[in-house]
């Protein structure tokens, strides 16, 4: 999951059960709950930004996460450390300082008729 803008949501931004997940270059703004890794999921969360949040990455039911290059702005990463660090595909990370200006305004449905 890349280049997403999660705004004004209550929870599950997103929620992963089982398997592996990769979240990068994403913005989390004014959400009550953060990324939830659960039921053995292994997440890699990279170069993403949180604002106006208290929970950035959390775990319920034994999920795990590796967090690299994120800007939490006071939000907490309380998920146990995971082992997933090398996705089997190529991708480009933005500098975390540039994520908000690059993603907000271009994420989501942008069709105009």
DSSP state of 101: H
Is the distance from CB of 12 to CB of 31 less than 8 angstroms? no
CA 108 to chain centre: 15
Positions marked active-site: 12
């Amino acid at each position: 999951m890349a280049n997403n803008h999660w705004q004004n949501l209550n929870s599950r931004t997103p929620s992963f059960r089982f398997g592996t997940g990769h979240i990068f270059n994403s913005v989390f703004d004014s959400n009550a709950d953060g990324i939830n890794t659960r039921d053995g999921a292994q997440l890699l969360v990279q170069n993403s930004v949180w604002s106006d949040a208290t929970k950035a990455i959390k775990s319920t039911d034994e999920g795990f996460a590796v967090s690299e290059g994120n800007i939490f702005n006071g939000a907490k990463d309380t998920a146990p450390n995971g082992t997933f660090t090398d996705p089997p595909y190529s991708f480009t990370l933005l500098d975390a300082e540039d994520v908000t200006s690059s993603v907000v305004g271009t994420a989501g449905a942008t069709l105009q008729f």
